[in-house]
A and B are shown apart, each in its own frame.
Chain A
Amino acid sequence: MKAICFYFQIHQPFRLKHYRFFDIGNDHYYYDDFADDDIITRIAQRSYLPANQMLLDMIKENGKKFKVAFSISGTALEQLEQYVPEFIDSMKELAATGCVEFLSETYAHSLSSLYDPDEFYAQVKAHDEKIFQLFGQRPKVFRNTELIYDDDIASMVYSMGFKAAITADAKHVLGWRSPNFLYSSASAPKLKLMLKNGKLSDDIAFRFSNPEWASYPLTADKYINWINELPQEEQLVNLFMNYDTFGELQPRESGIFEFMKALPRFAAENDIQFWTPSEVVSKFKPVAELAVPYPMSWTDEARDTSAWLGNTLQQEAVRKLYSIGERVRLCTDRRIKQDWNYLQGSDHFFYMSTKHNDDGSVHSHYSPYDSPYTAFTNYMNVLSDFMTRVEEQYPASIDNEELNSLLLTIRNQEQEIEKLHREVEMMRNNIVKDTTGDFPIDEEPAPEPIPEKKEEKPEPKKPAAKKPAAKKPAAKKPAAAKPAAKKPAAKKPAAKKPTTKK
C-alpha cells in the first residue's frame, strides 16, 4: 500500500503601484489594484475555478477516496473575496465534502519566521482564524511561506500546537535520504515533517507539457506506475505544487485536467490511496530526525532563502521592514495594520533578486518590474512613507519598552476607570433606592472631568461608549451625585499609584 498526498498552494501578493519619491508623505495608498484584479481574475478563470470543479468531480466520482490539501495565504483570500467571490463559494463547497484539508501558514505569505517571531505567531493566528471563519476548519498542519523551514522555525511551529510541518526536499539537507518517508524535527522531535517529492511534483508542475522532455507525453497510467515502482518501504509520495499548475502553468489544452481525473482510477488498481496531511501524520510513524540548521525552501536552484535574501538590496529591505515590527504591533490604526501585512509579502523581495540564468528568468517572469533595482526603489519609497506614518503614531524618541509600559499604564487605568464607573453606578442606584436626597448639586461635575482627561490618550472607543451610560443616571438624579462623586475622587490617586509603578 502507498499513499499520495496532494497539497496545492494559492498565493497572490498585493502588488505595489508605481510609487515615486514625490509621493512619500503625500500618498498613503500603495497598491496597484488594477493589476491585482486583472491577474487574479485571469488566473481564477483559467485555473482556480476549473481546477476546483475538477476536484469536486473527482471527489464525487471516487466516493470520497480522493483527498487533497490546500494552503491559501491571507492576502490571496482577501483578493479572491474581493474580485472572485465565486471562488470562495466553490472552495466552501469543496470544504463541505470533507475531503479537503486546509493548512496553516502566515497570513501575509511573509518571511516573518526568519526575522520576527512575535509577528510570526500573530500572523499564523490571524491566518488560521480567517480559514476557520471561511471554511470552518482549524488547521492542524503547518506550511511556511514557500516551504521555508529550519530548526528554529520547527520549535516555533511546535510551540503553537501543530502536529506536523510541510517542507521541501533540498538536496543539501536530505543527502542520500528519500523524501518518501515521514520525518521528525531534530529540534522539536514531536513535530513531524512531510517532504516534497521534488521530482514527481515537478513532473506535473513544470514538465508535463514539455515535448522535449524524455517522458513526454505523461499519462496517468505511466505516472502511477512510477509511483508503484518505488521501493516497497517508500510508502508516502508528497506532491506539492502551485494550484495554478492546472490551467495556467500547464494550459488546459495540454490535457492536465484529464490527466488528473484519470489518476484515481489507476491508483485504485495499484492499491494507492490519497490522503490528507493530517491522515498521513496520524497513520505513519516518522523514520528519523531531520536536522536543518540553515533555512531551506522550495524555490530556485539553491533551494534556500537566496531567492528573497540573496543580495544586499533584499537584506536591507527586509531588515528595514522588520525593524519597525514591534512598533507596528503597538499601533491600533487599522490601515497601518493592513499595509503592514501587505508589505510583508515575500514577493516584494523576490522581485529584487539579481540572479541570472534560469533562476533569473523565473524571477523576472513573475516580477512586474523591469529590473530588480526598480523593484527595490519602488518598495523602499513605499516603505519610507509607511515608516513615517508609524512614526507619526508614536515618536521614535521613545523606545519600545518605555512606550509599552506607558501603553500598559493607560490600559490599566482604563480598566480601573471602567471598574470605578460601574461602582459609581451601582452605588447611585443604591442611593436612589434609599433616599430622594436634597444634596447640593455644585459638586456634581467634579468627578466627570477627571476620568475624561485620562480617557483621551488611549483608544477612546470603550470608555467613550460607556461614558454616556454612566452619565445619564447622574444627570437625571443630580441629587444622588454627591456621595457617589466623593468615592472616585478619593480613590483616584490610590488607583494610579500601583499602575504607574509598573
Chain B
Amino acid sequence: MKALMFGWEFPPHILGGLGTASYGLTKGMWENGDMDITFVIPKPWGDEPKDFARIIGANSTPVAWRDVNWEYVQGRIGDVMDPQLYYNLRDHIYGDFNYMSTNDLGCIEFSGRYPENLLEEINNYSIVAGVIARTVDCDIIHSHDWLTYPAGIHAKQVTGKPLVIHVHATDFDRSRGNVNPTVFSIEKDGMNHADHIITVSNLTRRTVIEKYGISPDKVTTVHNAVEPLNEELLNLEAPPGKTSKVITFLGRITMQKGPEYFVEAAAQVLHKVNNAQFVMAGSGDMMDKMIRLAAKRGIADRFHFTGFLKGKQVYEMLAASDVYIMPSVSEPFGISPLEAMQMGVPSIISKQSGCAEILDNVIKIDYWDTNAMADAIYSIIKYPAMFNELREQGLAEVNQITWDKAGAKVINIYRNLINR
C-alpha cells in the first residue's frame, strides 16, 4: 500500500511532540510490512532517517520551471533528495507560480518552524503539495495536524484518493477555549474534506465530534506510543552529588501545560519537606510569570528553571528526577510522561490529558487539584514502596505501548477506506 503523508516536523529536528509522533507512527506502520510511505516535510535537513519512508522536502520541490543541470541540482539539494526526483517533480508543475518568490531551483523557501507568517507557509505548502501529488503515486493521503490539512485537501482533489487527517491537537487544547477563528476554519475545513479522522485520544475525539460537529463514525482514536530508548540513554545516572529529591516539570511553559499548578503544589510540599527540589524545564511565554510566582511563594531557593532542554539533556534531566509531573490543562495525548516512565521516573499526570486514557501505573489528578498533586508528590518522595512500585510497574507498562500496534490500527483504517 502506498501512502502519501504530509507532516510538519520530523526527527531529529523537532520542536514538539508532533515530530516524534509522526516519526513513530511511520516507523510503526513500516514494521507491519507492505507499506510504501512518502513523507513530505517543509524543510528536511538531510539527516532524517530514510530507511522506512521516502522524505520529500517542500523546499526542494519546484513550482516554477528552471533549466538546471544534474550537477547543479546534485550540488544544491543532493543531500536531501535524489536529483532524478527533482526532475520528475519539475515535470508535474501545474501552474505558473513565477509571481511567487522562488529560488534558483524554482522552489519556495520554508522555515520549517512556526514563524510569524505561518499562514502563508501553510498556503505555500499546499501549492507544493499539488506538484507532489501529481508526481508520486499513492493509494491514500494522510495529513498530520492542521498545518498540513490544506495540502492534504489539495492532494485529494488532484488524485481523488481518500484523505485521512490525523488530529494531534486542536486549537481548543492550545488556547484553553479561546480559539483563533482562522485556525478553527482551517481545522474544520480539513475535517469536512477528510474521509476519515484519526485522533490521538478519546479526549480529542470528543472535541472533534462536539466542537467541530463531525459525525462520530468518521472519527477513530489511535493512541500514540513510544519508541524504545537506546542503551546510552537508559544507562544515564543521576549526578553523584545529588542529596535531595528532584521533582520535574518538563515542557513548554505555556497556558496549556498548567505550569502555575505545579508551582502551587511545590509551595505546599516545600513547606513540609526540606530535602526536595523542584525543576521547571522548558521555555515559554509564561516563564517570567512563573519565576515571579515562585518568588512570591517564597520557594525560589528550591525551585529552579533550566530553560529549554533538547536531545540528550531531556533524558539527563529525567535521570536525575524522582518524580515527573505533567499538570496539563488540556493535552491531546502527551508523550512526555511515557518517556519519563521509560526512564523509570514515577509520573503524575492530569486527568485532562489523553495519555491518562491508556496509562494505569501513574498517578492521575485533576490539573486544578494542587492538593492532590502535593499529596502525590509527598507520597512518592517519602515512601520508597510507592516510588518502586510506580517505577517498576510503569516501566513494564510503557514497554508494552509500541508504535507497531498503533501502526496496525492505522493500516486497518486505510484498508477500510480503500476497499470502500
| Interface pairs A-B: 6 shortest CB-CB | A316-B385, A377-B379, A21-B378, A312-B389, A313-B389, A380-B383
Report B366-387 CB contacts with A as 1/0, cut-off 8 Å.
0000011011101100111110
Tell me what chain B mostly uses at the interface: helix, strand, loop, or mixed. helix
Identify which of residues 302-347 in chain A touch chain B, using a CB-to-CB cut-off of 8 Å: 311-313, 315-317
- Is A373 an interface residue when CB atoms closer than 8 A count as contact? yes
Instruction: Name the A residues within 8 Å of B383 (CB-CB).
Output: 316, 376-377, 380
A21 contacts across to B, CB distance below 8 A: 269, 272, 374-375, 378-379, 382
> Which B369-416 residues have C-beta < 8 A from chain A?
371-372, 374-376, 378-379, 382-386, 388-390, 392-393
Q: Could you say which interface size class chain A belongs to?
A: 20 to 34
Q: Does the CB pair A380–B379 fall under 8 Å?
A: yes
**Closest residue to A383 on the B side, CB-wise?**
B383
Q: Is B363 interfacial (CB-CB < 8 Å)?
A: yes
Report the minimal beta-carbon distance from B345 to chain A, rounded to whole angstroms. Answer: 15
Q: Which of A22, A311, A315, A371 contacts B363 (CB 8 A)?
A: A371
Determine if A374 is an interface residue (Cβ-Cβ < 8 Å): yes
Nearest CB on A from B349, distance (A): 12
> What chain A residues lie within 8 Å of B390 (beta carbons)?
373
A373–B389 Cα gap in the complex (Å)? 9
Interface residue A499 (Cβ < 8 Å from any Cβ of B): no
Name B269's closest neighbour in chain A (CB-CB): A21
Which of chain B's residues have a CB closer than 8 A to the CB of A376?
A: 379, 383, 385-386, 389
Given contacts A356-B360, A371-B363, contact A380 B386 (CB under 8 A): yes
The answer to whether B268 touches A22 (Cβ under 8 A) is yes
Min C-beta distance of A27 to chain B, whole Å: 13
Q: Closest Cβ of chain B: how far from A160's Cβ, in Å?
A: 33
* Known contacts A20-B375, A21-B375, A380-B379: A373-B363 contact under CB 8 Å: yes
Q: In the complex the two chains form, what is the Cα distance from A377 to B382 in whole Å?
A: 10
Chain B CB within 8 A of A201 CB: no
Query: Can you offer 22 A-B residue contacts whose CB atoms are under 8 A?
Result: A20-B374, A20-B375, A21-B378, A21-B382, A22-B268, A22-B272, A24-B272, A312-B388, A312-B389, A313-B386, A316-B383, A370-B364, A371-B363, A371-B364, A373-B386, A373-B390, A374-B363, A377-B375, A377-B378, A377-B383, A380-B379, A380-B383
In the assembled complex, how far is the CB of residue A7 from the closest CB belonging to chain B, in whole angstroms?
35
Tell me how far the C-beta of A376 lies from the nearest C-beta in chain B, rounded to whole angstroms.
6
B277 at the interface (CB under 8 A from A): no
Question: Roughly how many angstroms separate A21 CA and B373 CA in the complex, as a whole number?
Answer: 11
Residues of B within 8 A of A24 (CB): 272
A354 at the interface (CB under 8 A from B): yes
- Shortest distance from the beta carbon of B245 to any chain A beta carbon, whole Å: 14
Least CB distance from B313 to A in Å reads 29
Cβ-defined contact, B364 with A20, below 8 A: no
Are A377 and B386 closer than 8 Å at their CB atoms?
A: yes
- Return A30 CB to nearest CB of chain B, in Å: 15
Listed in ascending order, the chain A residues whose CB lies under 8 Å from chain B are: 20-22, 24, 311-313, 315-317, 354, 356, 370-371, 373-374, 376-378, 380-381, 384
**B378 contacts across to A, CB distance below 8 A:** 21, 377, 381
CB distance from A8 to the nearest CB of B (A): 35
Q: Which residue of B lies closest to A19 (CB)?
A: B375
Chain B residues within 8 Å of A374, by CB: 363, 372, 375-376
Query: Measured between alpha carbons, how far is A378 from B376 in the docked complex, in Å?
Result: 9
Docked CA distance A159–B375 (Å): 45
Q: Does B361 contact A (CB under 8 A)?
A: yes
- A378 and B378 CA atoms in complex are apart in Å by 11
A22 to chain B, nearest CB (A): 6
Residue of A nearest to B386 (CB): A376
Most chain B beta-carbon contacts within 10 A, residue among A317, A371, A373, A384: A373
Contacts A22-B272, A354-B361 given; does A313 touch B385 at CB 8 Å: yes
Q: How far is the CA of A380 from the CA of B386 in the complex (A)?
A: 10
* Interchain CB contact under 8 A, B363 and A312: no
Chain B minimum-CB-distance residue to A24: B272
Q: Which residues in A have their C-beta under 8 angstroms from that of B371?
A: 20
Contact check, A317 vs B382: say whether CB atoms are below 8 A apart.
Answer: no
Contact B388 A381 (CB under 8 A): no
Q: Please, which residues of chain B bring their CB within 8 A of the CB of A20?
A: 371, 374-375
**Residues of the B chain whose Cβ atoms lie less than 8 Å from the Cβ of A370:** 364
Contact with A along B254-291 (1 / 0, CB 8 A): 00000000000000110010000000000000000000
- Considering the chains assembled together, what is the distance between the CA atoms of A22 and B378 in angstroms? 10
Report chain A residues within 8 Å CB of B384.
316
Task: Report the nearest A residue to B371, measured CB to CB.
Answer: A20
Known: A21-B272, A22-B268, A22-B272. A312 touches B385 (CB 8 A): yes
- Bound state CA distance, A62 and B281, in angstroms? 76
B361 and A315 form a contact (CB under 8 A): no
Query: Contacts of B374 on A, CB cut-off 8 Å?
Result: 20-21
Q: Are B375 and A354 in contact (CB under 8 A)?
A: no
CA distance A316 to B268 in the complex (A): 26
Q: Give the distance in Å from the alpha carbon of A288 to the alpha carbon of B38 in the complex.
A: 73
Name the residue of chain A whose CB is nearest to the CB of B271.
Answer: A22
Chain B min CB distance to A206 (Å):
26
Residue of A nearest to B365 (CB): A374
Q: Give bound CA distance, A481 to B386, whole Å.
A: 66
Nearest B residue to A20 via CB reads B375
Bound CA span A313–B388, Å = 8
Among A317, A354, A381, point to the contact of B385 (Cβ < 8 A): A317
CA separation between A374 and B384, bound complex, in Å? Answer: 15
Contacts of B376 in A (CB 8 A): 373-374, 377
How far is A24 from B375 in the complex, measured between Cα atoms in Å?
12
11 more contacts with CB within 8 A, not counting A313-B385, A374-B372, are: A21-B379, A22-B268, A315-B385, A316-B384, A354-B360, A354-B393, A371-B364, A376-B383, A376-B389, A380-B382, A384-B382
A312 to B386 CA separation, bound complex (whole angstroms): 8
With a CB–CB cut-off of 8 A, which chain A residues contact B386?
313, 316, 373, 376-377, 380
CA separation between A22 and B371, bound complex, in Å? 10
Residue in B closest to A376 when the chains form the complex, CB atoms:
B386
Q: How far is the CA of A354 from the CA of B361 in the complex (A)?
A: 8
- How many angstroms from the CA of A313 to the CA of B364 in the assembled complex? 17
- Expressed in whole angstroms, the Cα–Cα distance for A24 and B382 within the complex equals 12
- Tell me how far the C-beta of A5 lies from the nearest C-beta in chain B, rounded to whole angstroms: 40
Report the minimum CB–CB distance from A308 to chain B (whole Å).
14
| Distance in angstroms between the alpha carbons of A21 and B376 in the assembled complex | 10
Bound state CA distance, A316 and B385, in angstroms?
A: 6
Instruction: List the A residue with the shortest CB-CB distance to B346.
Output: A373
Chain A residue contacts of B364, Cβ below 8 A: 370-371
Closest residue to A356 on the B side, CB-wise? B360
A352 to B17, CA, bound (A): 34
Residues of A within 8 A of B385 (CB): 312-313, 315-317, 376
CB nearest to B363 among chain A residues:
A373
Chain B 6-41 interface mask (CB, 8 Å, partner A; 1/0): 000000000000000000000000000000000000
Nearest CB of chain B from residue A128's CB, rounded to whole Å: 34
Specify the chain B residue showing the minimal Cβ separation from A21.
B378
Closest B residue to A373 by beta carbon equals: B363
Closest Cβ–Cβ distance, residue A318 to chain B (whole Å): 10
Residues of A within 8 A of B382 (CB): 21, 380, 384
In the complex the two chains form, what is the Cα distance from A22 to B375 in whole Å? 9
**Minimum Cβ distance to chain A for residue B269 (Å):** 8
Closest CB-CB distance, A184 to chain B, in whole Å?
39
CA distance A20 to B271 in the complex (A): 13
A317 to B375, CA, bound (A): 17
Roughly how many angstroms separate A99 CA and B377 CA in the complex, as a whole number? 54
**Which residues of B are found within 8 Å of A315, using beta-carbon distances?**
385
In the complex with contacts A21-B382, A376-B383, A311-B389 CB distance below 8 A: yes
